[in-house]
Structure 1
């Protein structure tokens, strides 16, 4: 079925953005926003399900990722650029309103699209990351915390540079699918937390890794290290943000993000609903950070039920 997904390039805002798309869109459009180490391919199951349900599904490679163009000055790209890119895609395709679905760091531009341009958004779905009104308090985590390591200029480049691109992508998929937060010990680097003999999670095939690796061979890691890791501290939101559109949060019970300081209480206590009042939260008992690839049928059903109930 994945071969039925079509591919185009849109020249918007001075950059060529690759988009994958499928479906006629009788009921509307669903826009999918990937995280790291992902690209459009991570949404393949959901795109096909959305198309079969009567929607047009669009999944871009964000600027600097996959087959999309590289910014001329990657380190100057802001989170606002990602939101502006999403708007430009909608405008280029003459799409007035969408459901937007974000995974991992893609949750930020997805939510900010809804926050700043609610007239363009029918509803927002995020996987693995809730709406976060302030920056992550990573100072309470040890120095070996992967975000702190990758935020440090040159550190990840040296770590990744010891291996080929495929090995790097494969290792990150292994580490990010675990329950534990990836944290290196003293004298150890993040890539040392798994080796070539470490098996992939059951739902991820070596062929899947080949697809991701091929696109990271094209894009490299310079931009993905900037966006999100080196720009996380620059995520901004209004002092008292309120996302007024309907929202759905899908969290795997075994998603390592729930182990971030304060994260599980923030979600389970309902504090997140102070900022997203019309929020439904669904937990997938065995779900990892890649819940949409791990349990595609369950996530597809949740997604289709949500969008159809908010047409």
Structure 2
């Protein structure tokens, strides 16, 4: 039986955030005033908009709720395989577009970029909490990848009572900002941290070409580094084939979603990495799973590699569970969904609750 992914916009902290969800359990009475409006947005035959008086807050998965947090240049759609697998098992799967991404509203621009960078991570954590509140979800599993792992970890630390467990792909917990000082000048993160440089680079191409190039580059095992006089978008030409697991139709979906948001706000995430808080006394009180891909280029980055292999991780994350997928790329959840689904569902099953949440 085909699962249907529903879409709506919820008023979250002054913005309308787009939320995709699938999976239904027992209903309970509630009001519908928390839904800003329902989105007439359809992808293929497996999604639909919420176009009736059916209330989202009545959709509680039999086994609980899983919140999926995307990275860049991803969107809710990057979790489609995991959402359907979780729903088929009895969970409710919820995937928001981060503020400023896809179909969600962009926050107002700050004249002071440093001020905006400082508040970035706090805003994302607060948004996750507000989404759970808006959907009347007492606690949930949180699954994330790429930069989405940062607010996922912070959410689990700040709100352990609302977190049944946290699972992150490719990124281990870091108790402070990463340093990229050892990387060459052409390293993509250093390039994208320069105000205006990535915008100018991306602006030479249409949205579809930008997403295509990033997927081609970042699906590989090599760290994207540009030479002097070269920009990141120059590292792959239009003739380069897409990864075999990423179709032209998938690319069309990403392009359509980024047509609304553009890349200006999403790129600000990279300019906020140096503002990650220092948490020398962090101690997780919830179960944690980290999944690493053997062909994920990020595993070669000095800061990320140190976090993954450091013996001090156990000091911050007691009992952390780790999994390794030898062929896994940076987009492992799209590349090898069956393997990722098995790991996630096994992790969820290991941490049941007496009553569904």
Q: TM-score range by the shorter chain?
A: over 0.9
Q: Which residue of 1 aligns with 2:73?
A: 37
Whole-angstrom CA distance in 1 between matches of 2:152 and 2:306:
23
Secondary structure at the aligned position of 1:138 is classed as coil
Whole-angstrom CA distance in 1 between matches of 2:306 and 2:148:
22
1:273 offset after TM fit, Å?
A: 2.2
Whole-angstrom CA distance in 1 between matches of 2:198 and 2:230:
12
Which of 177, 186, 195 is matched with 1:144 structurally? Answer: 186
| 8 Å contact from structure 1 (residues 171, 191) kept in 2 | yes
Question: Does the alignment pair 1:209 with 2:251?
Answer: yes
Whole-angstrom CA distance in 1 between matches of 2:198 and 2:81:
31
Question: Does the alignment pair 1:233 with 2:274?
Answer: yes
Secondary structure at the aligned position of 1:139 is classed as coil
What stretches of structure 2 of length at least 5 have no aligned partner?
A: 25-60, 353-357
Query: What is the root-mean-square deviation in Å for CA atoms of aligned residues?
Result: 1.3
| 8 Å contact from structure 2 (residues 177, 278) kept in 1 | no
Whole-angstrom CA distance in 2 between matches of 1:101 and 1:125:
5
Secondary structure at the aligned position of 2:330 is classed as coil
Alignment of 1:159-238 (within 5 A): 159-226=201-268, 228-238=269-279
TM-score where L is the length of structure 1: 0.97
Alignment of 1:41-52 (within 5 A): 41-52=77-88
Question: Does the alignment pair 1:258 with 2:317?
Answer: no
Secondary structure at the aligned position of 2:172 is classed as coil
Which has the larger Rg?
Answer: 2
Q: Which residue of 2 aligns with 1:158?
A: 200
C-alpha distance after superposition, 1:198-250 (max 9, x if no partner): 11111111111111111111101110110x20111111142321112101001
C-alpha distance after superposition, 1:153-210 (max 9, x if no partner): 1111111111111100100111111111111011110001000001111111111111
The alignment covers a number of residue pairs equal to: 310
Alignment of 1:267-306 (within 5 A): 267-306=308-347
Whole-angstrom CA distance in 2 between matches of 1:278 and 1:2:
37
C-alpha distance 2-185 of structure 1, shift in aligned 2 (>3 A): farther
C-alpha distance after superposition, 1:86-117 (max 9, x if no partner): 00000011100000001100001111110011
> 4+ residue stretches of structure 1 with deviation over 6 A?
none
Secondary structure at the aligned position of 2:138 is classed as coil
What stretches of structure 1 of length at least 5 have no aligned partner?
A: none
Which of the two has greater helix per residue? 1
| 8 Å contact from structure 1 (residues 133, 241) kept in 2 | yes
